[in-house]
Chain A
Amino acid sequence: MLELILFSSLNGVLYGMLLFMMAGGLTLIFSMMGVLNFAHASFYMLGAYFGFEIARHLGFWPGLVLAPVIVGLVGALVERYGLRQVHKHGHVAELLFTFGLAFVIEELVQMIWGKLPVDYRVPEALDFVAFTMFGTTYPAYKVFMLGIAILMFLSLLWVLTKTRVGLIIQASLSHPQMVAMLGHNVPRVFMMVFGGGCMLAGLAGVIAGPALVTQPSMAALLGPILFVVVVLGGLGSLTGAFIASLLIGLVQTFAVAVNLSLSDLLHFISFDPNAGSVLADLWRVTVAQIAPVIPYLLLILILILRPTGLMGNRES
């Protein structure tokens, strides 16, 4: 039991930090431009594929550095030549633009790398067991991922709160006109933030690619969860996004480990539901099986109890 709790918490925190690498950028972009970037998970996927392609030719480490930079550049270009054009048509058009972009990126990835998962491997330097506890091993690569994620979190915190750039970004969040008056190029700040957010998503993709599966559906699988995180934390709140990321990460990891069903529970209070009914599936399904649904259930729950999300204070 202790073993389960320890490893699940470790994996949960890891997954949560990975989610935050994306949700953080997404939240920053949202607070700044008011547009929820539907293609954010696609940039994560691009990061994984670019990392794979670079790893094939130059090795894993150059990929770790180059792939996020390339993804960030692609993101900046998308903002400059796509989103900025659409901006005049309003937020719905911007959201739809990113929606279309996600669609196109998935098709392109399928075209270039095929529909099947690619063989993106953990680098040999990190392919060993970090530690053994209660007879279960923990791979070093996961420790490395956790390290990168925490490093990135700390540097984001540092940039936003301690540097001049962070000051300007924070000011442009709330008072873009005033910042422009002071002589800063606000559209360029927007472009940088968008590119930076995409870069973080790309970095998440590079390090997650070898651990999870690098396949064309990885964006579509992760995207909705990402939006749950952002809404759950409260739209526009970085702290909320951080808490929600960890919460979703832990809940999903623990849920997978629990092999209990509703009918077990009902048996416990000596009640036997009708096994032949259409709802029989609902009774027999285990917590592990509904793990993918839990984030959405959490989302609905929080919206009923607290419509602005955990830390949010704005209406839409």
Chain B
Amino acid sequence: MRKFAIWPIAASVLVILPFVFDSGTSLTKMSLMCIMAVFALSYNMLLGQTGMLSFGHAVYYGLAGFLAIHAMQVFGGSASSIPLVMIPLFGALTGLTFALIFGWVSTKRAGTAFAMISLGLGELVAASSLIMRSFFGGEEGVSSDRSKLYMWLGLDFGAQIQVYYLIAAWTFIAVAAMFAITHTPFGRMANAVRENPERAEFVGYSTQMIRFISFCLAGAFAGIAGALAAINFEIMNALSVSGAQSGAVLLMTYIGGVGHFLGPILGAILITALQISLSDYTGAWMLYFGLMFILVVMYVPGGLAGLIMVHEPVWRTGLLHRLVPSYLLLAVPALICLSGAVGVIELAHHALVKAASEGPQMLLFGLGFSSRAWLPWLCAIALFALGAALCRVVWPKVKEAWSEVHKQMKQALV
């Protein structure tokens, strides 16, 4: 039964969170994190579980969001008895329907061709969203009022707290369902298609069919996320079906880690938090995202979850403390390198973008200086170079600690 203990814990965390973080902004933040977690998990059904790289997953999220908004408008004024809590079902159906149509075309191919087709389909829908103005509402989008729907249990969903619980409940259901799917025979076959499509064919399964089913399920869950977004924002615009949104979910999922079920959730929480807070501090936050993504792809292909999971067996054998000193040693040059990089980016951003309007004076790490002077630039570059060089010196120590730990773990096994 220990296997299932995580679910009640997760549910109670979702219930308790608003009591801990009870301000309006944190409620909005948490709602958004839940939505993005569902969206990223649905994306990982493709990328992580079945090995299909899609550049157009926002299509199902966005279209479902638009349909949910229209459904809210239709059911809002009338005497129908469809409550707001049922709207995500419409989203799931919309996502599923469009995934059935587009998936039939695109899952004929795998690999790079599939990626390009998904990109083409994404662009097709994004371009159509600008043409079909009466459905997509043009630049200003379509808005609706969630509190006008049929009152269910006396809830009008005017307050954010009620909306949060609605979103959290649906998130819980969707996450549990997606987790359950990974443990069905179908989920296992999807993994087989990812690992070795040829053998999957030999076992007697049609890889195209498996890809198609995965695609449809992913579309349906993305639809739930889209409908939740529609409920949360009460507005949808063409940006939600755009390539930028598809790119964002890919970034989240990959940074979180595609190899583990929890990875996309971690990624969604981290990226959403950063998106909201980082944009307050710096104008170059998109650049930081891009660089972070490249670094993850280059050095940590398992993502955050992968990074955490390699420590799990070490932790089990009680050897984690052996790694701590080398990690602390690495942290110092890593921080120096990071502050240097941040310095260079901020200086460049200030000198190129802000200096024209605000003058050359800027504030960074509590220090005031001119972004046109050479000294701050020299300091930042020197910090970066020094940090990078020290990292290279310290890295063998970390490796050494790891091999030591591996040796001990092997001995413990024998």
CB distance from A215 to the nearest CB of B (A): 16
Contact (Cβ within 8 A) B123 A103: no
- B297: chain A residues at CB < 8 Å are 86, 89, 93, 96-97, 100
Given contacts A86-B297, A107-B286, A281-B131, contact A303 B109 (CB under 8 A): yes
Q: Which of B112-120, B149-157, B182-190, B363-371 contacts A (4 or more CB under 8 A)?
A: B112-120
Flag if B250 contacts A228 (CB, 8 Å): no
Known contacts A289-B131, A293-B128; is A224 also within 8 Å of B117 by CB?
A: no
| B294 close to A (CB within 8 Å) | yes
**In contact, A93 and B301 (Cβ under 8 angstroms):** yes
**When A91-B111, A97-B297, A99-B247 are in contact, do A296 and B53 touch as well, CB less than 8 Å?**
no
Mask: chain B, 328-371; 1 = CB below 8 Å from A; 0 = not: 00000000000000000000110011000000000000000000
Tell me, yes or no, whether B135 is within 8 Å of chain A by CB. Answer: yes
B247 near A224 with CB under 8 A, answer no
Q: A85-B298, A107-B290, A281-B132 are in contact. Are A316 and B124 (CB under 8 A)?
A: no
Give complex CA distance A92, B247 in Å: 15
Does A46 count as interface, using CB distance less than 8 angstroms?
A: no
Proximity string of chain A (244-275) to chain B, C-beta cutoff 8 Å, 1 when within and 0 when not = 00000000000000000000000000000000
Contact assessment for A300 and B120 in the assembled complex, using a CB-CB cutoff below 8 Å: yes
Size of the B side of the interface (Cβ < 8 Å), in residues, is 47
Q: Of the candidates A91, A231, A293, A315, which one forms a contact with B117 in the assembled complex, judged by CB atoms under 8 Å apart? A: A231
A316 with B243: CB separation less than 8 A: no
* CB-CB contacts below 8 Å: B37-80 with A: 47, 51, 53, 55
Q: In this complex, what residue of A is CB-closest to B356?
A: A114
Residues of A within 8 Å of B290, CB to CB, are 100, 103-104, 107
Asked if B135 and A278 sit within 8 Å, CB to CB, the answer is yes
Pair B298/A304 contact, Cβ less than 8 Å? no
Mostly, the B contact residues are helix
Chain B residues with CB under 8 A of A112:
352
Query: Is B90 interfacial (CB 8 A cutoff)?
Result: no
Residues of A within 8 A of B133 (CB): 281
Residue of A nearest to B345 (CB): A111
Residues on the B chain within 8 Å of A91, using CB? 111-112
Confirm or deny: A297 has a beta carbon within 8 angstroms of a beta carbon on chain B: yes
A159 at interface (Cβ–Cβ under 8 A)?
Answer: no
Q: In the complex, which residue of chain B has the Cβ closest to the Cβ of A235?
A: B113
**Interface residue B179 (Cβ < 8 Å from any Cβ of A):** no
| Residues in chain B near residue A295, CB distance under 8 A | 120
Give the CA-CA distance A309 to B110 in the complex, in Å: 14
Is the CB–CB distance between A280 and B112 below 8 Å? no
List chain B residues, Cβ under 8 A from A77.
none
Task: Report how far A184 CA is from B51 CA in the complex, Å.
Answer: 34
Interchain CB contact under 8 A, B127 and A100: no
Q: Evaluate contact between A101 and B124: CB separation under 8 angstroms.
A: no
Q: Does A36 contact B (CB under 8 A)?
A: yes
Chain B residues packing against A (C-beta within 8 Å): 47, 51, 53, 55, 105-106, 108-117, 119-121, 123-124, 127-128, 131-135, 243, 247, 250, 254, 284, 286-287, 289-291, 293-294, 297-298, 301, 348-349, 352-353
Additional A-B contact list (20), CB under 8 Å, known A103-B289, A235-B112: A35-B112, A92-B51, A96-B53, A96-B250, A97-B294, A99-B247, A99-B250, A100-B297, A103-B247, A107-B284, A231-B117, A293-B124, A296-B120, A296-B121, A299-B117, A300-B117, A303-B106, A315-B113, A316-B109, A316-B112
19 contacts between A and B (CB under 8 A): A34-B112, A36-B115, A86-B298, A92-B47, A100-B294, A100-B297, A101-B294, A107-B290, A224-B119, A224-B123, A280-B134, A281-B131, A292-B127, A296-B121, A296-B124, A300-B117, A303-B117, A316-B111, A316-B114
